A and B are shown apart, each in its own frame.
Chain A
C-alpha cells in the first residue's frame, strides 16, 4: 500500500492545501466553523446555503470537506475518511479535485457555483467522486459495475443526481477502456506514480496508463 501521506505530498506539490485530520488541534475548530458559518449567513440565503452547510456540521463524523479560505484551501478529513489507508488516500484525491476547482474557477465563484446551482454541484462532486473511484481501482483493482448514486449529503434534485451518475458512468467507462479519466488530479497522480516506480507495487503501476508529459 502507498502511504496516504506520499499521495498528499504529490498533490500538494501540484496545488497547495492544508489537511486537517481528526486529532489535529485545528480539526475541532474547523468542524465548529460549519455551525458558525450557517449562523452567520443572511436569513434570506439560509434556505439555499444553510441546508448544505448545516448537514455538513451534522455529518462531520463521516464527511470530509474542502473549504475555500483567503489562504490555501483547507481540507477537513472526517474520522471515516482516515479509517483505513485506501479510504484515506481516495478521500485526499477526492478533496484535491475541489482544490483544483477552487484554483481554476476562483474562491468566490466556486462557492457561488457550489451553493447556487445543483447542476454545477452535481457535476463537480461527480468528478471528485470519480477520482476517488479511480484511485481505489488503482490501489485495489476494485471497480464498481455501475455508477454509484451520490448520497443525500449534496441535496441534489432527481435530475441533478441523474447528471452526477451520468458523469461518473462516463469516467467508469474511461477506466474500463484502459484510459485515464480526463481529470487534473488523475494526471498528477499518474505522472507521480510512474516517476517513482521503485516505491510502487507492480500491480498498482500496471493499472495506471501513461500520460503525455
Chain B
C-alpha cells in the first residue's frame, strides 16, 4: 500500500498541471468568467492568452475574430464564446 501511495504522490507532484478538460470545440474562443481571453486546445481545454485578466490592464475581454483585450471605451462586442 505504501509504495502505491508513494507512487501516487510522486505522480501527482510530477505531472504537468493542465487545465481541466471542458469539452470545448478546438480553436474556439471565449472570455473566461473573470475576463481573460482563452482559446480551446486540441485536448479540449481552455488555455489562457496571458497571465492576468483584461480588467487588470484597464481593458475588457471581447470576442471578435479572437478573444482579446480591448480598451473599455471600445468594447462594443458581446463577450460570449465563439466557435471557429
Q: Is the CB of A177 within 8 A of B57?
A: no
Q: Which of B48, B54, B66 contacts A179 (CB 8 A)?
A: B54
Residues 84-110 (chain A) with a chain B CB within 8 angstroms: 100-101, 104-105, 108-109
Given contacts A181-B50, A183-B52, contact A171 B41 (CB under 8 A): no
Known pairs A101-B51, A127-B49 / 16 extra A-B pairs, C-beta < 8 Å: A108-B13, A108-B14, A113-B16, A116-B14, A120-B16, A123-B47, A123-B48, A126-B49, A159-B43, A163-B39, A174-B69, A177-B59, A180-B59, A181-B50, A183-B50, A184-B52
- Interface range on chain A (Cβ under 8 Å from partner): 35 or more
A116→B68 CA distance, assembly (Å): 28
**Which residue numbers of B lie inside 8 Å of A, CB to CB?**
13-18, 26-27, 29, 36-37, 39, 41-43, 45, 47-54, 56-59, 62, 64-71, 74
Query: B39 to A181, Cβ gap below 8 A?
Result: no
What is the interface of chain A, defined by CB distance below 8 A to chain B? 100-101, 104-105, 108-109, 112-113, 116-117, 119-120, 123, 126-127, 130, 159-160, 162-163, 166-167, 169-171, 173-174, 177-184, 186-187, 209-212
24 inter-chain pairs at a CB distance below 8 angstroms, sorted by A residue, are A104-B51, A109-B17, A120-B17, A127-B51, A162-B42, A163-B47, A166-B66, A167-B47, A170-B68, A173-B65, A177-B68, A177-B69, A177-B70, A179-B57, A179-B71, A180-B69, A181-B50, A181-B69, A183-B51, A184-B52, A211-B56, A211-B58, A212-B56, A212-B57
